[in-house]
Amino acid sequence: MKIFVAGGTGAIGRPLLKQLLAKGHNVVALTRSQERTQSLAAQGIESVIADVFDPDSVKGAIAHAQPEVVIEQLTALPRTYSRESMTAAAPVNTRIRLEGGANVLAAAQAAGVRRYLRQSIAFWGIPGAGLADEETPLSLDASPAVAADARLITEIEHRLLKTSNLEGIALRYGFFYGPGTWFNPDGDVGQQVRQQQFPIVGNGEGVWSWLHIEDAAIATVAAVEQGNPGVYLIVDDQPLVVREWLPAFARSLNASPPPRVSVEDALKMEGGADIVYYQTQMRGASNAKAKRELNFQPRSLKWVVDTTVALS
Ligand SMILES: NC(=O)c1ccc[n+]([C@@H]2O[C@H](COP(=O)([O-])OP(=O)(O)OC[C@H]3O[C@@H](n4cnc5c(N)ncnc54)[C@H](OP(=O)(O)O)[C@@H]3O)[C@@H](O)[C@H]2O)c1
């Protein structure tokens, strides 16, 4: 199939382009950077230069490429994962998802694209017992940044799924780890854990659902080829509470165990209510639908498996 990827040069875009090529698809990647067009060409990938905030150039790029499928992996997230950097990046990240994404979607619709897949987020199922599935309501009334993200996801998924004459698929990914992500040993959270700057808050009972970046790419290609229109949670098989995964991550880095902070003290930090939500209330997600319909077979979280074996 001919597939146009917006965001193909980012953390998930890079393995995604490789997977698409490996499956024999014909890929066109969008980038703003002349330099990146050269490295894409070296990998045998056609590219086109455009900024998604310029609707005419995006429209021209997609009309020219005439793809059957468009995949949107646009973000404007920072290299560092901290409350401050995430807060600073939020306005442009929201804008790229809302306005940039709207321009890509409108261009795809105008070009008669058959299928459109976009990045979404698996973290925001409303807290409750067990794992969230695709029908679980989102945490629209949670702490400020969580609620804002849940509302954003609701809006962009709704916009896609109600677009006529196009098969829309929203892929709600878990926490990315692996090369090029915050949670890689050389990524920003890896550094923070080494420097004792990533504490466990309160009981650390928030449940995180993980996803290796290459599994994200594999699941996305499966959704291109055989997914049904609608929403898929794309997460691994091991939802883990913070007090389990964070010490395991520290062990895998040969770092000291993470420090502990009370909920009361965390609430005094900037964005404290969001930190407390992530650490004590977040709900894991179920991959049952992705397994059933996409034959998704995620790998195990290596730092947890390896360090548990090492300790036993
Ligand atoms: N579920 C998760 O846990 C999750 C989800 C997303 C990201 N992250 C984290 O966020 C960090 C950053 O990763 P990322 O891949 O999202 O960001 P990134 O590496 O900065 O990639 C962003 C992508 O969007 C494109 N883009 C941005 N603004 C654009 C514009 N105005 N016009 C056209 N294209 C534009 C970029 O293309 P060009 O720069 O080539 O133009 C690039 O392909 C990673 O550490 C990752 O772990 C985590």
Distance from Cα 7 to the centre of ligand 1, integer Å: 6
Distance from Cα 98 to the centre of ligand 1, integer Å: 14
**Spatial separation of the C-alpha atoms in residues 125 and 135, rounded to whole Å:** 9
Q: What is the pLDDT of residue 78?
A: 87
Percent of the chain scored above 70 by pLDDT? 98
The mean pLDDT of 271-290, rounded to a whole number, is: 96
Index of the ligand 1 atom closest to the CA of residue 122: 1
**Domain residue limits, the chain:** 2-180+210-236+285-300
| Residue 216 pLDDT exceeds 70 | yes
Instruction: Write the residue with the smallest CA distance to atom 43 of ligand 1.
Output: 7
**Spatial separation of the C-alpha atoms in residues 249 and 303, rounded to whole Å:** 6
Distance from Cα 159 to the centre of ligand 1, integer Å: 21
The mean pLDDT of 225-252, rounded to a whole number, is: 97
| Residue 251 pLDDT exceeds 80 | yes
The mean pLDDT of 126-136, rounded to a whole number, is: 96
Residue 284 to residues 188, 205, 235, 280: CA-CA distances in angstroms? 23, 11, 9, 12
Q: Which amino acid is at 135?
A: E
Instruction: Write the residue with the smallest CA distance to atom 1 of ligand 1.
Output: 175
Q: What is the pLDDT of residue 312?
A: 46
Residue 237, both tokens:
């098989």
Q: What is the pLDDT of residue 82?
A: 82
Instruction: Write the residue with the smallest CA distance to atom 19 of ligand 1.
Output: 10
Lowest mean pLDDT among 139-143, 163-167, 274-278, 307-311: 307-311
Q: Which CATH superfamily is domain 2-180+210-236+285-300 in?
A: NAD(P)-binding Rossmann-like Domain (3.40.50.720)
| Residue 102 pLDDT exceeds 60 | yes
Distance from Cα 257 to the centre of ligand 1, integer Å: 31
* pTM, full prediction: 0.96
Of 261, 79, 300, which is closest to residue 183 (Cα–Cα)?
A: 79
Q: What is the pLDDT of residue 304?
A: 77
The mean pLDDT of 13-19, rounded to a whole number, is: 97
Tens digits of residue pLDDT in 33-69: 999 999 999 998 999 999 999 999 999 999 999 999 9
Index of the ligand 1 atom closest to the CA of residue 7: 43
Pocket around ligand 1 at a 6 A CB cut-off: 7-13, 30-33, 36, 51-53, 74-77, 96, 100, 173, 175-176, 181-182
